[in-house]
Structure 1
Amino acid sequence: MSSVPFTMEHADKGKESSNSINEVEVTNSPIICGLPDDISLMCLARIPRKYHSVMKCVSKRWRNLICSEEWFCYRRKHKLDETWIYALCRDKSNEIFCYVLDPTLSRRYWKLIDNLPPQISKRKGIGFEALGNKLFLLGGCSEFLDSTDEVYSYDASSNCWAQATSLSTARYNFGCEVLDKKLYAIGGGGSKSSYHSWETFDPLTNCWTSQTDPKIVNEIKDSVVLDGKIYVRCSRYPVTPHVFAVVYEPSSGTWEYADDDMVSGWTGPAVAVDGTLYVLDQSAGTKLMMWHKERREWILVGKLSPLPIRQPCQLVAVGKSIFVVGRVLSTVVVDVDNLGNEDQVIVGSAIPGLLFDVNVTSVKCLSN
């Protein structure tokens, strides 16, 4: 009777076959026993986002579902998605951290996101933006100003970081915005090709497309999306201290200079709420300004108390609420519907910050 020797090759093939069978079984198994998958999805998608991490522990089938594009699209289509706020911070040793805030909790607090890619831990001038259900960390440079084109993405569903498609041009301290489901990287420092260039990332093709325009400069101060256009505040320093802004018109794909009256009051972080531009003026205290389109002037809408918030601050909006996020992640929430006259001190709900010192470099919101 002949025998066939059992080698490691046979063992590996056996494992691969077993793993394939297990994956098929997970894929073909019902989401909830006794229910059609479409009914199960309809039920599970209504569970608040704060419980999704627990749900992923129920089974592989549930984990795969919650991390899938199908889950993300279903919740967004049926307006079940919830917006959380993400803050990019830097401590005294210049190390980068990322925190998340669920604004729906009764006791709101900032939570650290673990496992940032170690390659970016000390980088400066990093772009930070949200597109779909992912956060993106783009470019940046070391203390020696050697810029990089590397991009990393964070999947909010799976809670994992991964390397993404690199920028066309290495750059740092650049404008970063999302418009029409595309990611924009604008101007900044780096190689000479970054000074007058801007590029767009299309997630459908997974590619960056680079273009140039002489109006784009390397000194980018801030950016905001307003009325379907990208506004970028720039400076030609040290050539001239003059601050100006350019605006991108997507219908023509061109950049034009923005209105000087609007630029004159754009002196700090900006955010748009229902088509209205708000700016935080931190030059003397902390004042919230509003750009009045019809009157073509800036209006003081209120002053923030210095007690719950520490400068410098960044702005982000969720619905009609503006989150003013300051040093140590001290946060004040302002409802634009409750803003009074210009002499009024703005009273908003406060969210406690951290017990150690960090500066907030950028704040974005992401729905999932």
Structure 2
Amino acid sequence: MDRRRMIQPPLVDSTACLCRVDAGLKTVAGAKKYVPGARLCLQPDIKASIHPTRSKPARGESSRNQSPLLPGLPDDLAIACLIRVPRVEHRKLRLVCKRWYRLLAGNFFYTLRKSIGIAEEWIYLIKRDREGKISWHAFDPVYQLWQSLPPVPKEYSEALGFGCAVLSGCHLYLFGGKDPLKGSMRRVIFYSARTNKWHRAPDMLRRRHFFGSCVINNCLYVAGGENEGVHRSLRSAEVYDPNKNRWSFISDMSTAMVPFIGVVYEGKWFLKGLGSHRQVLSEVYQPENDSWYSVYDGMVAGWKNPSASLNGHLYALECKDGCKLRVYDETTDSWSKHIDSKIHLGNSRALEAASLVPLNGKLCIIRNNMSISLVDVTKSNDAGGASAEHLWETLAGKGQFRTLVTNLWSSLAGRNRLKSHIVHCQVLQA
């Protein structure tokens, strides 16, 4: 037999964090014996869930008396099988038994999926309906199915101007914003794609809404915005480090600003917004030396929202329906390059492109009617103008949209489908 065919992906990541290994797993309990170099977890335990949960039962009999995860297989081989089950079925796996639930509720299971390259990315949409209510939904691009999610906690059910970002690839954070009754907030919560639950995180240092935010080196940066206090527009900025589980101030911005667009490009954070006198301002932040400075080059001058950076290139949408992309050319300091689908949908609010995010190495365009398109920008340099439309792919289009989520959409937006719009869009991996 060809030995190359016998090579399989590693069953266990030798650098994985072992702090969440279930002691009840027969061979995993002695993980150090067959996982050389395994490290202890240096990060604090995940915070308690916002939603009440049952207390953990006391461990009874020794692990050797427990039944195997899969009858007839050692637990390490059973885990090797279970981690290959598609993500869309994980909710069902948790219902099989307590041991499967504990396995899929910990970091160990998903660390293995990521280490062998089978972790899946889903799209998460946060929408506001015509009554101002916030809801959210997840889309599986592999099976092209919409997934139900636990409700957004009540403090964000009607909030305005709050931030949204992803840390560690699987934690979606909501932070700040303006409560209709209580005003500006410091609140921070996050959803874990691994546990499918909401959790609390430390509050920000300043109350703010309609601010800018970004993630650099897995740290969450927040700057500017508004506060209902004496100084309405803010110059202050802060950063959250999940490893230290705390917020810290960074240098203030050059001028107070309410950002309306931001992006991380070449390791720098670019922001564009309105100053105290409603003038357009542009600033860039460099984390290396903790400094801000104004910028007025061709990139900022022609910069539009939504925008995203991927593989060292900066992209922005050219038209309202997002069927044409612009590419920033650093050599000419201009937005002269274009990637056109050649099929334009229209200028209605429902068809307006609300977000542009990277997904599985491609750019994903999400519109207010929940239609989704993918653009393979990696091949754009090889495609001429006439064939550029072949780079585009529809994941959830007009026809698919009707068949997949007609009932869901009707219940969300009622008869008038044009009143709902997407507030935030992120990609989580698990």
Tell me, yes or no, whether TM beats 0.5: yes
Structure 2: which amino acid aligns with 1:60? K
Q: Which deviates more, 301-310 or 73-82?
A: 301-310
Alignment of 1:106-145 (within 5 A): 108-132=144-168, 133-143=170-180
Distance change (3 Å), C-alpha of 1:24 and 1:323: farther
Give me the whole-angstrom Cα distance separating, in 2, the residues matched to 1:19 and 1:67.
Answer: 15
Determine the structure 2 residue equivalent to 1:320.
Answer: 361
CA contact (8 A) 1:169 1:194 kept: no
Q: Is the 8 A contact 2:129 2:421 kept in 1?
A: yes
Counterpart residue type for residue 351 of structure 1: A
Q: Report the CA distance between 1:170 and its aligned residue.
A: 1.2
**For residue 364 of structure 1, what is the aligned residue in structure 2?**
426
In structure 2, which of residues 100, 108, 119 is the aligned counterpart of residue 81 of structure 1? 119
Cα displacement string for residues 36-88 of structure 1 (whole angstroms, at most 9, x for unaligned residues) = 44333333222221121111112111111112122232222332211111111
Stretches of structure 2 that go unaligned for 5 or more consecutive residues are 1-55, 402-408
- CA gap of 1:226–1:213, structure 2 versus 1, over 3 A, is same
* Per-residue deviation, 1:24: 6.7
Are 1:349 and 2:394 matched, yes or no?
yes
Structure 1 equivalent of residue 344 of structure 2: 306
- The Cα offsets for residues 170-197 of structure 1, whole Å up to 9 and x where unpaired, read as 1111122211121222221125497112
Q: Distance in 1 between matches of 2:185 and 2:324?
A: 36
Structure 1 residues 44 and 252: alpha-carbon distance in aligned structure 2, compared to 1, 3 A threshold: same
- Which structure carries more strand by proportion? 1
**Alignment match, 2:92:** 54
Report SS of the residue matched to 2:369: helix
CA distance 1:293–1:30, change in 2 (3 Å):
farther
Q: What stretches of structure 1 of length at least 5 have no aligned partner? A: 1-17
Q: 2:254 aligns with which of 199, 208, 215?
A: 215
Indicate the residue corresponding to 2:242 in structure 1.
Answer: 203
* Aligned residue identity for 2:394: S
Aligned to 1:295: 332
- State the SS of the aligned residue for 1:137: strand
Counterpart for residue 281 of structure 1 = 318
Q: Distance in 1 between matches of 2:384 and 2:374?
A: 18
Q: Aligned letter for 1:203? A: P
TM-score computed with the length of structure 1 as normaliser: 0.84
Aligned counterparts, 1:26-175, within 5 A: 30-105=68-143, 108-132=144-168, 133-143=170-180, 146-175=183-212
RMSD: 3.0
- Other structure's SS at 1:233 match: strand
Distance 1:49 1:242, change over 3 A: same
- Equivalent residue for 1:267, pick from 304, 328, 342: 304
Residue 172 of structure 1: SS of its match in structure 2? coil
Q: Secondary structure at the match of 2:102?
A: helix
